[in-house]
Amino acid sequence: ALIASMVKVALAAQRDHGDSPAAVLAGMNETLCGRLAGQYVTAAYLFIDTRSRMIRYGAAGHPPMLRSRRANGEVHEVEQNGLILGFVQNPGYTELEEPLRTDDRFLLYTDGLIEACNADDDLFGLDRLKQSLSAATGLHSESVTDDLLTTVDRWSGRPPGDDLTLVLVDWDEQS
């Protein structure tokens, strides 16, 4: 709980840099470095610039963001990753910039989702997650996260061994 509070404060302190994932991650790292008592924090940051119709994305030790096309279910990994937060001073975070498309769907998630294990200790994995996201193309955004969690739960048959957090964003012209 203490680390979660520290992360919230570190993120809030980056308000002036909100449009730059690299700057936000660097600022958070500066705030957290040396204060995590041997713990670590991963993070992913997606900024959707509706005026310029661009996205900017960066991460710190986090699984790749998934970007899909709702029109055809095509899913690809977006990875722009740096070191975990709070580990090293000034690691030099970077960000990726790409055009925003009308039917974009973005999925950010914690590693507990892809590291869920079944009775044979097989991991759910990134490929299964991509297949599940592609299969959910026709679902409204409100239903996609429930569907993904249900799919992982049924596949695993076990209680979650790690945190499971999902953030899903659908973009269209009316957004």
pLDDT over threshold 80, residue 174? no
Stretch 5-34: mean pLDDT: 94
pLDDT digits (tens, 9 = 90+) for 106-139: 999 999 999 999 999 999 999 999 999 999 988 8
pTM attached to this predicted model: 0.91
Radius of gyration of the chain from its Cα atoms, rounded to whole angstroms: 17
Stretch 62-84: mean pLDDT: 94
Strands 75-78 and 54-60: unpaired
- Give the mean pLDDT of the chain: 92
CA–CA distance, 79 with 69 (Å, rounded to integer): 17
The pLDDT of residue 67 is 97
Stretch 97-103: mean pLDDT: 94
Which two structure tokens, joined as six digits, stand for 17? 């840099």
The pLDDT of residue 37 is 81
Q: Any idea what the Cα angle at residue 169 is, between residues 165 and 170, rounded to 5°?
A: 145
pLDDT over threshold 90, residue 161? no
| Closest-CA residue to 110 (of 129, 127, 83) | 129
pLDDT over threshold 60, residue 175? no
pLDDT over threshold 50, residue 100? yes
Beta bridge partners of 107: 66, 168
pLDDT over threshold 80, residue 20? yes
- Counting residues of the chain whose pLDDT is more than 70, the rounded percentage is 98
